[in-house]
Amino acid sequence: MTENEISIGRFQELKLKPLNNGTYTEREKEIIKSIREKFTINKNTLLRRIIKPQDAGKYISGEYTSVRGYISRAEDYNDVGDFEDIFETFRLDYNDTPYHSTDKSYWKMEFKTIPDDLKKINLDNTYGKEFGGLNEDINPCTRNGYTGAKNGKVIPEWNLKTEGLRYDDNALITKIENGKIVKQYKYVKENKKWIKIK
């Protein structure tokens, strides 16, 4: 962040400004976008989405065949650990959330998308109008391309909106309980089925 002459502390303030009813100056917008757009996704990027418990079964059964909503890169956070931290990092306190910060278990999906779907991953639906985008989601969404984590974590995110992202071979759906893997399913593309491996 040195090229933008901004400290980590100042960046954290800017990242959370929308959640504190703040308004960006033009220079602040430039800084946020300049840093955010250094985070990219390609065909080899392992993606992650924290999924609702009720949705896990729909993926596994084949009712759901693509990923929608907010995704992040697996490399940006080691999520096998304290759920309270995960809850805050990914701001799972959105409207109608099935999760609570005191929960002991959660479900996640990790996958690489197919090359043809890479074009669906962009910032148009992630950025709010302040940044030239289409996102109108309310708090805790920042609409600046980062989760609204207040614990010091910096997690770039992408909003897929209604553009379903298909997953490639060996995608995983995992249930974590008390920091340990208790259930896990792997996607076999050839058969278009999820196979239980744990």
- The predicted-structure confidence for 134-184, as pLDDT tens digits, reads as follows 999 999 999 999 999 999 999 999 999 777 899 999 999 999 999 899 999
Beta bridge partners of 105: 177
- The predicted-structure confidence for 43-69, as pLDDT tens digits, reads as follows 999 999 999 999 999 999 999 999 999
> Do the Cβ atoms of 74 and 80 come closer than 8 Å?
no
- The predicted-structure confidence for 87-145, as pLDDT tens digits, reads as follows 999 999 998 899 999 999 999 999 999 999 998 998 999 999 999 999 999 999 999 99
Q: Is 35 exposed, middle or buried (0-12, 13-18, 19+ CB in 10 A)?
A: buried
Per-domain residue ranges for the chain? Answer: 2-196
Question: How confident is the model at residue 162, as a pLDDT?
Answer: 72
Mean pLDDT of 68-77: 94
